[in-house]
A and B are shown apart, each in its own frame.
Chain A
C-alpha cells in the first residue's frame, strides 16, 4: 500500500472512530467538544484498554448482544478498540491456555471487568469454571479491576431470572466491598450501545458516569419507559390492546397485556435494539421490566395486568439526584394509571 493510500485509509478509520466517540458523547449528553476529548484520550492510551469478560450463571445472551453491534462493527470493537483478554465464548484458547490469559491480566490489574450472568448465592458449586468456584474467580478479578460492569439483568441488582431460581443468582454489586466501582447495566440482554458507551466513557473520564441508586447510569436509566412510550397517547385515551390481530389496535397501549413500562426505567423507547431495528413494545409485546430490580420474581405474571400500578418498590426518596425530577413526574403518572386501571374494571 502506498503512503497516500495508507493515509487515506487511516483517515477513514479515524473518521469512523470519531463517529463512535460522538455517539458516546451524545449518549451521555456531553457537550459537543467532548467527542474530540474522548478520541484523544483513547488514542493517547497507546495500548488498547484491557477487558476481562467473565461469564457466571449466564446464557451468553449478553455476549451475543455485544456481537449485534453493526456500527461500529464488532470486528473493530474486538480487534481495534478493546483488548479482550478473556472471554469464554469468543477467545481462541481453551483450558489452561485460557486460564493463564486470565491470570496474567489479573496480575497486571487496571482492566475493565465485565460480568455476564449471575453468581449463585445458595451454593458456590452451582457454577464452576476451571475447577474453581466462579465466585472466587470473580472476586479475584474484581479486586484489581479499575471498574466492574454488571452487564445484563443477571449480573446486576436482583440477579434477573437466576435470581428467582433456587440457585439464588445475584449480581456483582452484592459481592464486592467497594460498591462505587460497580456500574450496573441491566436489561435482558445488555444493550450493546449502553455497554460500549459506558466503557468508552470510563476510559475517557477515568470515572463512572452519573449513577442512580441502583448504580445504573442515569443517561440510560433516568426516565420511565411509560413517559416516553410512543403508545402513550393511546394510554391517555384508554385505548388498550386486547386483540393482536386487529389492525386498529396495532399501536394501542399494552397495559392489559401486562406491560411493566409504568414501573421501568430505561431508554428503550428512544434507542431501539439491533441497530434501531425494533423494541419489545414495537413488536406488540408488553415490557417485561427487565431493567428493574423486581425482574423477574417481583414482576410475574408478566402477561397479566398489574393489580396496582403505582411507584411500587421504586424508592423515590433515595433515587439518584438526577432522577428525582423524573421519578416525581412518574409518581404523578402512576396516579393517573391507577385511575384508568379502575375505570377499566367497569
Chain B
C-alpha cells in the first residue's frame, strides 16, 4: 500500500516548503512540492518608482543576496536604455562573484553535509591531529553537556551516511572553518556593496560606489583566503565524498531531474553581452550533447495547481499574481514555469552542462556519474573555482582602472525614469536562472514579474499535470524506512531550494500523521 509522507518543514533551505511524497514498495512513486508562503512582491511594486525595484526585489532572498538586485538592475538597464560603464559592470561582478563564493560552500557544509555525515562519529576519532582533536573535544563536550542543538535532533544516519571518523572529523572541522569563510566572503561583497545581506550599491545604470584602493586591497586579501579554502578544502571534500562513500548514489543518478536544463548565462566578461563567464543555453530531453539558444518567448507560467486565479499559461511580461487560496486543485503558492512546455532544472548543474568545463566532464566520465543529487554538488563545487578565478581577474581589471583614475561606475544619463518602456533582466543567481520583467507606464511600474530559480525547480504540476523538476527528481528515490526519509531531503537540498520546507508522514487512508523517531 502506498504511503504518503509530508516533510514539513524542509529545513536548511530558505523559505517555507512542504514536500509530500507517496511511497510504494520502498521508493517514491510521486511527489508534490508545496510553497507555503505568499509575499506578493509583484503586487507591491505596482505604481512605484521603477528605480525602487532593485532595492525591493533584493528582499526576495537574503541568502543569494544581491542576485535579485542584479537581475532587477539589468531589467531596469534594459528599460532605461542604460549603458553600464565597465567599472560598474566589474563591481557588480565582484559583489555577485563574492556571493557565489559565500553561497556554494555554505550550501555544501551547512545546508547539506549534515545529510551525509554522522556527526557523532567524531567521538571515535583516534588520530593525532591537534586541530581535529580540538573538534572532537568540542563535539564530545557538547554531547556530555547534553546540548548538541542545532546539530541534533536529526534523521537517523543510513547506509549512505559516512561514519568513518577519519573522514567525518575533518569534514566537521571544515564545517566550522566554512562558517568563518562564508562570513568573510560576505565581507568582500560588503566592501563594495555597502552591506550584506542586501547590498545597497547596485542601481539602474551601474553602481553607486566609486571604490578606492583601500577597499580593493581589503577585498583582495579576503579573496586570497576564501579562494584558498575553495580550492584546498571545499572542492577536495566534494570530490572525496562524491567519488568515495557517495559514489553509489552518484552512479545511480539518484535525484535526477526531468532532463531539461536551462541557463540564462551571467557575468559579462566585457562590454559584449554575449561574452559571459557562464554561457546561456537550453538542453532538453536529457541530451547534453545538444545545447540550444535560449528563446525567452518560449517561457510560460502555469497556475493550474497553484493558488492563483486560473489562466491558460502566460508569458512573464503578461504575468498575473491574483491569489485564490481556496482553489481546490491548488497546492502551492509557487507557479509552474515551463520552457516550450518542458519542466526545466536550473542551477549549477544546468550551467555546467551548458558550459561543459573539462574538469567536471572528466570527473563524470571517469567515475560514471549520472546527473542527480551528487552531480549537483560536484557542479556547484567546480563552478565555484571558475568564479574564484574570474573574480581575481575582474579585481585586477578594476584595480588597474582605479590606479589610472579612469573609472566610471554609472550611466548618469540613465537615471531619469522613462515615461513608458519595457525591460527584461536575465542572469544567474547561485541557485539558477533568474529573470525579471518590467513594464513602465507614466513613469511608474505597471507590471513587474519575477521568475526565480526555485520557481523553476520547485514548481508544482503544470496545467497538463506534468510534475516540476524536484517533484520529478523525487520519483524513484529509495525510502526503505518511511520513518526516515533521509534520501528525500538529500535530493530536495541538492537543488539548494530557496523557500522554507516541511515534511510529515501521512497515511492516505486515515490521513494520520506518523511521528518520526529521533535517532
Contact across chains for B8 and A131 when beta carbons are under 8 A apart: yes
> What 0/1 pattern do residues 91 to 116 of A give for CB contact below 8 A with B?
11111111111000000000000000
Asked whether any CB of chain B lies closer than 8 Å to the CB of A143, the reply is no
Asked whether any CB of chain A lies closer than 8 Å to the CB of B481, the reply is no
Contact across chains for B40 and A166 when beta carbons are under 8 A apart: yes
Known: A61-B61, A128-B37, A165-B40. 6 other contacts (CB 8 A): A57-B39, A61-B63, A89-B500, A129-B502, A274-B190, A283-B199
Asked whether any CB of chain A lies closer than 8 Å to the CB of B279, the reply is no
Residue of A nearest to B57 (CB): A161
Inter-chain contacts of B201 with A (CB < 8 A): 283-285
Contact across chains for B10 and A277 when beta carbons are under 8 A apart: no
Stretch in B12-20, B255-263, B281-289, B374-382 with 4+ CB within 8 Å of A: B12-20
Inter-chain contacts of A125 with B (CB < 8 A): 325
Asked whether any CB of chain B lies closer than 8 Å to the CB of A79, the reply is yes
> What 0/1 pattern do residues 220 to 262 of A give for CB contact below 8 A with B?
0000000000000000000000111101001000000100000
| B14-58 interface (Cβ within 8 A of A) | 14-16, 18, 36-41, 43-44, 48-49, 51-52, 55-56
Contact across chains for A278 and B13 when beta carbons are under 8 A apart: no
Interface residues on A, range: 35 or more
Partner of A131 from the list B63, B208, B218, B502 (CB cut-off 8 Å) is: B502
Contact across chains for B43 and A166 when beta carbons are under 8 A apart: yes
Partner of B63 from the list A64, A88, A245, A275 (CB cut-off 8 Å) is: A64
Asked whether any CB of chain B lies closer than 8 Å to the CB of A328, the reply is no
Stretch in B146-154, B351-359, B364-372 with 4+ CB within 8 Å of A: B146-154
Q: Select the residue from A67, A93, A123, A126 with max chain B CB neighbours within 10 A.
A: A93
- What are 10 inter-chain pairs, A to B, with CB distance below 8 A? A59-B14, A59-B59, A63-B62, A67-B179, A91-B12, A91-B150, A96-B504, A131-B18, A166-B44, A278-B192
> What 0/1 pattern do residues 332 to 344 of B give for CB contact below 8 A with A?
0000000000000
Asked whether any CB of chain A lies closer than 8 Å to the CB of B197, the reply is yes
Asked whether any CB of chain B lies closer than 8 Å to the CB of A217, the reply is no
CB B257 to nearest CB in A, in angstroms, measures 21
> What 0/1 pattern do residues 269 to 285 of A give for CB contact below 8 A with B?
00011110111111111
Inter-chain contacts of A280 with B (CB < 8 A): 194-195, 200
Using a CB–CB cutoff of 8 Å, the interface residues on chain A facing chain B are 1, 9, 47-48, 55, 57-65, 67-70, 73-75, 78-79, 83-101, 120, 123, 125-131, 134, 160-162, 164-167, 169, 188-189, 242-245, 247, 250, 257, 272-275, 277-285, 288, 296, 300-304
Asked whether any CB of chain A lies closer than 8 Å to the CB of B266, the reply is no
Contact across chains for A167 and B38 when beta carbons are under 8 A apart: yes
Interface residues on B, range: 35 or more
Partner of A283 from the list B7, B187, B193 (CB cut-off 8 Å) is: B193
| B393-428 interface (Cβ within 8 A of A) | 405, 407-410, 412
Q: Select the residue from A47, A64, A125, A243 with max chain B CB neighbours within 10 A.
A: A64
Asked whether any CB of chain A lies closer than 8 Å to the CB of B122, the reply is no
A120-B36 Cα distance, complex, nearest whole Å:
12
